[in-house]
Structure 1
Amino acid sequence: MTANLITAVSAAVLLSSVPALADGELHIYNWGNYTNPKLIEKFEKQYNIKVTLDDYDSNETMLSKVRAGNSGYDIVVPSDYTVKIMIEEGLLEKTEPNAMPNGKNIDPRFVDVYWDKGRHYSVPWQFGTTAFAVDTAKYKGDINTLAILFNPPDELKGRINMLDDITVVMHAAERYAGVPRCGDDKANLKKINDILTAAKPSWKTFSYDTLGKMVSGDVDVTQTWSGASYRIRQKRPTTIYALPKEGLDGWMDNVAVLKGAKNLDNAKLFQDFVMAPENAALISEFAGFDSGIAGSHQFMSKDLASSPELNPPAGSPVPEFVPPCPAAVVEVYNKIWTNLRK
């Protein structure tokens, strides 16, 4: 081939997964209060696509609806372990985001991830950690320990909100106990159950509404996510996001396309669109988390880009991204959780 022909063919291959022009519709199913309206407006204007957006409150809710079939959605935003499950169950389209024009912007740390090695199905939406936030006006002691949740000081008893999330709560208890995540050792599982049972009287609520709980003053401590803690701090400035010495969960939510999506080309466009640094920054400005897209910080407000929630100090615990637990362990988790939530 001539050099010009090689260049033309290369460009055609690169662009083949993302149509240059579009119109029509796109149906997105995402977590609640997680999508910047400005992002949707920009996408609609740029591609003349009408977007509809519905929301869910957990990966399990979304997964149940998708498994049932005929959901009507094109795009979903599953967390890391859920992406792995959905790929294994054949629920996602192989859209090859890493070959899209903006695929080069994915932070190298998040290309060969356990849930989608090489990024054949999904693109980063937001990432962060899960720990807890404490109003330091209410408690002056060391907050960087999971003892705040599982053996709290007297002034915090009855003032704690836990996430209504079996995986997050179980993994936190495992870290506090010093046992492996997803372990099937019966003695360790009994230890986890005992820790949770003993701690429950000190908790006030189980809720995903961590912002509302803290901003209203209903609680002084909440299990929460790094970006949510940033948003809480804007309203309750004495709040600090803890980095417990025992460790913390890392997670990433990802934009994926459902198998058989009616608006497949538009869904691919949206995947490429959110990998542009300026668009990834729009998501972060709304949600308060980091994006996983290189170069996005320069488009964020200085307050967010330099925030401690996005920039943990040197020596902080390294976030742990935990793959899905074996079915036998999940079965025991469910029994412990059912008893805990009575």
Structure 2
Amino acid sequence: MNRKAILSAGIAAGLFAGLAQSASAEELFLYNWSNYFPPELLEKFESDTGISVTLDVYDSNETMLARLQAGAAGYDIVVPSDYMMEIMIKEGLAERIDAGEMENFSNVMEPHNDPRQDPGRAYSAPYLWGTTGFTYDSERVGELEESWKEFFEPREELSGQIAVLNDEVEAYNAAAYYAGVSKCTEEPAEAQQILDILQAQAPHVAMYQSDGTIDRMASGEMIMHMQWNGAAHRSKQERDSLVYVYPEEGISFWNDNFMVPAGAPNLENAKTFINWMMAPENIAVASNYTGYMNAVRGSSEFMDEALVEDPAVNMPEEYADRLRPTEDCSVDARELRNRVWTRLRS
């Protein structure tokens, strides 16, 4: 899923070519999204534990899954998103770690302590979480309603100044929320409603692009952009007039997690790392670096003030009922969604 605005263009390739598979009491091999973990935090972990970490990176959940399915060995920790957790567990690609019994798990807040994809956290532990809404420049367009209407039925002055993530799932889901239909609908008539919304918006869209969202909004190239909330925060650091919207019709809520691949050569070191990352002072460094919120109680004491004060990251409690979690749509629903997206982009 290409949704993280902090992904760098260069993806390390072949780092693990020829990797010796023998386990070592002083090693850990982390396979993570690109530019999604602070280098200084790895150094701190190595200093605190004496365990040396080697990092390899990927650009999507599907890239990571394909590598594991192909039999790649040597990884001790991967970082799948919520929907990918369930797939890994069903396919026997995850090691049971009983994170719920770890010392620092008591710091994990609801609902992250008991996700639908892994009840009780038998196979996973939380990393970071976020939302996918839209950002606009209030200095250039004034105050807008907290509604997807502003995005899909833009005011005249916004025409040609809107960018949409080039992401089938995120764009489709947002239009489904606005239409008031299930994002996992199997009904062609409801899918047509979603397509109608997307096609009506299309003439006003300058681009469908997932990379560079921060720069475009920070520089003023765009007035409105569909964004992940961490990217919205980083944009706002450069342009204070930007506003991130939690639409009243609903907003996608996602989370990324630590898991241990089946057969990991350094299982105990992986458990040490996961427990260490659930300490407030450690996970806070990751939030400060990425601009995304974490699920650990007490971490806000160690986070940058600008991050804590930005509602794009530290969501106001009154918006909690607007969150729409990831759903595992049926094959029919996914095929219908893909046909809508193909029609839109053709």
- SS of structure 2 residue aligned to 1:126: strand
Unaligned runs of 5+ in 2: 1-23
Q: Which amino acid aligns with 1:100?
A: M
* In structure 2, distance between residues paired with 1:218 and 1:54: 33
* Counterparts of residues 236-251 of structure 1 (less than 5 Å): 236-251=239-254
Aligned to 1:308: 311
Q: Is the 8 A contact 1:211 1:231 kept in 2?
A: yes
* 1:5 corresponding residue in structure 2: none
Q: Does 1:102 align with 2:104?
A: yes
Q: Aligned-pair distance for 1:271?
A: 0.9
Give 1:266's aligned residue: 269
1:23 and 1:71 mapped to 2: Cα distance?
17
Q: Secondary structure at the match of 1:118?
A: helix
Encode CA deviations 1:133-163: one digit per residue, 9 max, x unaligned. Answer: 1111221141411123222112222222222
Q: Is the 8 A contact 1:23 1:48 kept in 2?
A: no
Report what 1:54 is aligned to.
56
Q: Is the 8 A contact 1:114 1:323 kept in 2?
A: no
- Tell me which of 127, 130, 153 is aligned to 1:128: 130
Larger Rg: 1
The partner residue of 1:28 within 12, 30, 39 is 30
2:338 alignment partner, SS class: helix
| TM-score, scaled relative to structure 1 | 0.88
Alignment of 1:83-98 (within 5 A): 83-98=85-100
The root-mean-square deviation of aligned C-alpha atoms, in Å, is 1.9
Q: CA deviation at 1:314?
A: 5.2
**Which residue matches 2:331?**
327
| One-letter amino acid of the counterpart of residue 280, structure 2 | P
Q: Return the alpha-carbon distance in structure 2 between the equivalents of residues 43 and 185 of structure 1.
A: 50
Contact 2:41/2:285 (8 A) holds in 1? yes
Q: Distance in 2 between matches of 1:244 and 1:219?
A: 19
- What is the identity percentage for the equivalent residue pairs of Structure 1 and Structure 2? 41
Partner AA of 1:269 in structure 2? T
Which runs of no fewer than 5 residues in structure 1 stay unpaired? 1-21
5 Å-filtered alignment, 1:94-243, equals 94-209=96-211, 210-243=213-246
Q: Give the partner amino acid of 1:305.
A: V
Q: Which amino acid in structure 2 is aligned with residue 333 of structure 1?
A: R
Q: Distance in 2 between matches of 1:163 and 1:272?
A: 34
- Aligned equivalents of 2:149 and 2:73: distance in 1? 42
TM-score with structure 2 setting the length: 0.87
Question: 3-state SS of the aligned residue for 2:322?
Answer: coil
**CA deviation profile, 1:80-115 (whole Å, cap 9, x unmatched):** 111112211221111111111111211132112111
- Please tell me whether the aligned partners of residues 25 and 266 of structure 2 are also in contact (alpha carbons under 8 angstroms): no
CA 1:332–1:111: 2 relative to 1, 3 Å: same
The equivalent residue for 1:7 is none
Q: Distance in 1 between matches of 2:88 and 2:260?
A: 11
The structure-2 alpha-carbon separation of the partners of 1:74 and 1:157, relative to structure 1 and needing over 3 Å to count, comes to farther
The equivalent of 1:340 in structure 2 is 344
Match of 1:64 in 2: 66
Match of 1:81 in 2: 83
Deviation of the 1:23 alpha carbon? 4.2
SS of corresponding position for 1:81: helix
CA displacement, residues 246-290 of structure 1 (integer Å, 9 cap, x when unaligned): 110111111111112222222222111110111111111111121
What is aligned with 1:254? 257
Give the stretch that moved more between structures: 297-306 or 323-332.
Answer: 297-306
What is the rounded CA distance, in whole Å, between the counterparts of 1:121 and 1:165 in structure 2? Answer: 28
The 3-state SS of whatever aligns with 2:121 is coil
The alpha-carbon distance between structure 1 residues 303 and 143, as it changes in their structure 2 partners (threshold 3 A), is: same
Indicate the SS of the match to 2:130. Answer: strand
